[in-house]
Structure 1
Amino acid sequence: MGAITGYRRGLWAETLSAWYLRAKGYRILTMRYKTRVGEIDIVARRGGVLVFAEVKWRGTQDAAGQGIHAANQARVRQAAELYLQNHPRYTGLDVRFDALLWAPGRWPLHIMNAF
């Protein structure tokens, strides 16, 4: 259970999250968007709302939620600003920051406006 296992689990959670969001009517614009300040796990759109989603997989959903701490939130917000600078066609949309929390044997907990 080294870093590779955790990395692969994270990729799997992001893939499942994208499918979950698609099933809820979101259009996935990009996944794993990398910037100089950090990475956004999923950028999605539904109607007039642009969603920057952070995905976490831990042993419990509570532990997953604790993984989205203040420094992590700040990095995602800064990366979202850069995304909007590089994709000006989305600047007129409402912006929301969601979290998708995963734990073994559980459906995802999708928290809208998580931070």
Structure 2
Amino acid sequence: MDKALRGAKAHKRGHLAEYVALIHLMLKGYRILGFRLKMPQGEIDILAQKGTRLHLVEVKQRRSHEEAFETVSTIQQERLWQAGLALLEKKPRLRKLDLVIDLYTIAPGQWPRHQINAFEKIERF
């Protein structure tokens, strides 16, 4: 299989994983505020609120949950934080919420995993 075809299939699987995460989060009581938000710092897969937290949800599909977690580099984590902070600058009404980055992972043959505050940092404003 050529590289372009593999890339297209991976892109399609990634979008499907985002829809699975979106539906699952809604069923868990999250209020979806945004989906595939393009920011200069990077894309926010899902922006959701539950209680007093604003969740930036990064969605990854890999062969295992551990592999998915490992693919989120510290550089990507920092880009997500910067995207979240930039979003708060643009949307002052969200500043009352605590900002966290969640990781939603999907692996074949396993239940999806939603790790709240996956990188153990909370921004308060």
TM class, shorter-chain normalised? over 0.9
Tell me, in whole angstroms, the C-alpha distance in 2 between the residues paired with 1:65 and 1:43. 19
Hey, what does 2:42 align to over in structure 1?
38
Hey, what does 1:17 align to over in structure 2?
21
Hey, what does 2:123 align to over in structure 1?
none
Contact 2:47 2:57 in 1 (8 A): yes
Extract unaligned runs of 5+ from structure 1. none
Deviations 1:35-83 (A, max 9, x none): 1111111100012111111110001111111111101101111111111
CA RMSD of aligned residues (A): 1.0
Q: Percent identity?
A: 39
TM-score (norm 1): 0.95
TM-score (norm 2): 0.88
Superposition map of 1:42-57 within 5 A: 42-57=46-61
Could you tell me which of 49, 66, 70 is aligned with 2:74?
70
How far does residue 32 in structure 1 lie from its aligned partner after superposition?
Answer: 0.7
4+ runs deviating over 2 angstroms: none
Tell me, in whole angstroms, the C-alpha distance in 1 between the residues paired with 2:52 and 2:65. 29
Tell me, in whole angstroms, the C-alpha distance in 2 between the residues paired with 1:101 and 1:75. 19
Tell me, in whole angstroms, the C-alpha distance in 1 between the residues paired with 2:90 and 2:15. 24
Q: Which has the larger radius of gyration?
A: 2
How far does residue 25 in structure 1 lie from its aligned partner after superposition?
Answer: 0.5
Tell me, in whole angstroms, the C-alpha distance in 1 between the residues paired with 2:84 and 2:99. 9
